[in-house]
Structure 1
């Protein structure tokens, strides 16, 4: 059950990161370094989600 909880937690985090990226992109002067950091974290979360999903 812990894996399912971790997967759900990662899905929530992935969605939160997507929202943060969208908000930053729509600002008048987006912070490119922040965007890069958010996108890297989102990709890391996505990779972990895929790894956990295939391991089940």
Structure 2
């Protein structure tokens, strides 16, 4: 993988991590205030799970699996 590819993946990873943390904060706040119904909260949680899966895929590409 080229340096440019790694740089782009790291940038995308940072964006996904930020969105994941933001969603976590939003879900927590809405749980505390009761601002959303359960369906909306479930949608946010599903998006958070999709983000986590993307994060893991990118991390796997950036960190090679080296068997020692």
> What is the TM-score of this pair, normalised by structure 2?
0.77
Bigger Rg, which one: 2
Matched residue pairs, number?
Answer: 56
Quote the residue 2:48 is aligned against.
42
| 2:17 is aligned with 1:17 | no
> What is the TM-score of this pair, normalised by structure 1?
0.92
Listed as ranges, the gaps of 5+ residues in structure 1 are none
Listed as ranges, the gaps of 5+ residues in structure 2 are 1-6, 63-68
Which segments of structure 1 move beyond 2 Å, counting only runs of 4 or more? none
